[in-house]
């Protein structure tokens, strides 16, 4: 692409100067927002004003031109301030990455300039009840003709992370049996309804609820049709997973920060009076040292996988990416996933060891760290990612082969359902004929 994000972009110091004060203000209200279930509209607006949505957009299109390692370090810092914020930007982040390598220069420039002007893109992909992401109940079909030609989108999505705060919503829809479409619609378009009904016990303020599309009209340029079962090389699987790992790393940093503050404000040590101040107790120091080490390891692991992502992204920009490289970045992200999840879940449980019952009082709300970490860790179930990594190590099975299997299984299930339906119809027809014969013989 012409907009190379590797040169001429913003420096680390400039990023800190621009976003540091914004993150500090976001952190100050994090506990109260959660307690009051106040969605972070003001915080999203502050990030948008500071240019967070265009951090990765090349300078020539009006962005800040940050590299992937720079951006993920920024994302970890934002997660330390409030872990809801990186997740609700997840759809936007993935969309920007998709536009950075889009094969159509006109599409690429239109969207990158739109994002540089402040547009935020939300996500509405998943559905409740469908057996496969290849079988979306949301549909899109062509309407009109000539100058009035376009598309009509109808359906219902859940886990619509970030859509409550967005200007545009990216979704997927079925177009016949063999094709699907990537569809972009204005969030305030007629027929779009966004509902804050996410009821998870963690990450409560991400706007991850229901989005309903009721005959939403969309122009041709905002519908991208693709054949089901087509597997182009992409880094997006890794990008989306690494956003969660960066958020978990930020949760870990915030946990350690707050438990240090908790210990330092304590003035008694009933269990071990040899050390009247808990901060002087070697056992308390050991716990804090252990959780701090786990936090460091989680961040280091995440950033190591980001370095692999950056390597493949650079190859993609240079048109030198291979299927092996795309598989390598997926394996790096999935391998890191196990380590980071286990480290952060362990440390967000262990922080309570330094304070006894007083550590669980609601005024500290230390429980939110485990709840948020557990919720983040549940995205893209770990057991399947571990299997992908193990199968690759033992048998050379690539991650892309796993995705291919999901399409093959979907096709097989569809054939089986059609066969069963045909058999039911035959039985019904035979039963009706039998009844008619018996009736005529009476």
Domains and CATH numbers, the chain: 12-119 (1.10.540.10), 139-227 (2.40.110.10), 236-401 (1.20.140.10)
Question: Which residues are paired to 169 by β-bridges?
Answer: 122, 185
pLDDT category at 3 given cuts 50, 70, 90 is very low
Dist. CA 294–CA 329, nearest whole Å: 23
Count of residues for the chain?
442
| Cβ atoms within 10 Å of 167's Cβ, excluding its own | 17
pLDDT per position as a tens digit, 390-400: 999 999 999 98
Query: Mean pLDDT in the chain?
Result: 91
Work out whether strand 121-124 and strand 168-175 pair parallel, antiparallel, or are unpaired.
Answer: parallel
What is the percent of the chain with per-residue pLDDT over 90, rounded to a whole number?
A: 76
Q: What are phi and psi of 133, to 5 degrees?
A: -70, -10
Dist. CA 324–CA 305, nearest whole Å: 16
Q: Catalogue the long-range contacts made by 377-385 (C-beta closer than 8 Å, 24 or more residues apart).
A: 377/244, 377/248, 377/341, 377/344, 377/345, 379/244, 380/240, 380/241, 380/244, 380/337, 382/337, 382/338, 382/341, 385/241, 385/334, 385/337, 385/338
Q: Over 70: is that where the pLDDT of 7 sits?
A: no
Question: Which three-class secondary structure state does DSSP give residue 185?
Answer: strand
Work out whether strand 121-124 and strand 150-157 pair parallel, antiparallel, or are unpaired.
Answer: unpaired
Beta carbons within 8 Å of 185's beta carbon, 6+ residues apart:
153, 168, 169, 171, 192, 213, 216, 218, 222
Q: Which pTM value belongs to this model?
A: 0.91
pLDDT per position as a tens digit, 192-208: 999 999 999 999 999 99
Least confident of 144-148, 232-236, 265-269: 265-269
In 3D, which of 299, 285, 297 has the Cα closest to residue 80? 299
DSSP 166-182: -SEEEEEEEETTTEEEE
Q: What is the mean pLDDT of residues 117-137?
A: 86
Q: Over 80: is that where the pLDDT of 413 sits?
A: no
pLDDT: which is higher, 145 or 325: 325
Question: Which three-class secondary structure state does DSSP give residue 44?
Answer: helix
pLDDT per position as a tens digit, 59-69: 999 999 999 99
């Amino acid at each position: 692409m012409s907009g190379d994000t590797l040169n001429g972009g913003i420096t680390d110091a400039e990023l800190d100067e621009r976003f540091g004060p914004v993150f500090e203000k976001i952190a100050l209200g994090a506990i109260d927002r959660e307690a009051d279930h106040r969605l972070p509209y003001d915080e999203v607006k502050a990030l948008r004003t500071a240019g967070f949505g265009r951090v990765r957009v090349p300078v020539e299109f009006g962005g800040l031109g940050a590299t992937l390692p720079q951006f993920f370090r920024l994302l970890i810092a934002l997660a330390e301030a409030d872990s809801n914020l990186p997740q609700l930007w997840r759809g936007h982040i993935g969309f920007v990455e998709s536009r950075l390598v889009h094969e159509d220069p006109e599409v690429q420039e239109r969207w990158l300039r739109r994002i540089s002007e402040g547009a935020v893109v939300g996500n509405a992909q998943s559905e409740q009840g469908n057996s496969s992401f290849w079988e979306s109940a949301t549909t899109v079909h062509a309407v009109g003709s000539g100058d009035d030609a376009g598309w009509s989108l109808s359906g219902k999505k859940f886990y619509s992370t970030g859509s409550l705060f967005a200007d545009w919503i990216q979704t997927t829809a079925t177009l016949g049996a063999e094709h699907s479409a990537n569809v972009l619609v204005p969030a305030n378009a007629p027929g779009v309804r966004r509902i804050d009904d996410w009821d998870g016990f963690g990450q409560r303020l991400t706007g991850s609820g229901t989005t309903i599309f009721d005959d939403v009209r969309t122009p041709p340029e905002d519908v991208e049709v693709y054949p089901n079962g087509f597997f182009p090389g992409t880094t997006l699987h890794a990008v989306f997973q690494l956003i969660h790992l960066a958020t978990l790393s930020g949760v870990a940093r915030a946990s350690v920060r707050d438990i240090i503050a908790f210990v330092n404000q304590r003035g008694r040590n009933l269990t071990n009076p040899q050390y009247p101040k808990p901060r002087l107790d070697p056992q308390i120091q050991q716990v804090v040292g252990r959780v701090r080490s786990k936090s460091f390891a989680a961040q280091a692991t995440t950033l190591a996988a980001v370095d692999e992502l950056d390597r493949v992204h650079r190859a993609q920009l240079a048109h030198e990416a291979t299927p092996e490289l795309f598989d390598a970045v997926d394996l790096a992200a999935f391998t890191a996933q196990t380590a980071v999840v286990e480290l952060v879940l362990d440390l967000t449980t262990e922080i309570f060891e330094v304070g006894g019952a007083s550590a669980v009082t609601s005024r500290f709300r230390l429980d939110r760290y485990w709840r948020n970490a557990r919720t983040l860790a549940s995205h893209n179930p770990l057991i399947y990612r571990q299997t992908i990594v193990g199968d690759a190590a033992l048998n050379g099975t690539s991650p892309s082969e796993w995705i291919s299997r999901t399409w093959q299984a979907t096709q097989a299930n569809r054939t089986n359902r059609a066969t069963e339906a045909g058999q039911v119809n035959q039985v019904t027809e035979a039963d009706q004929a039998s009844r008619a014969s018996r009736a005529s013989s009476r």
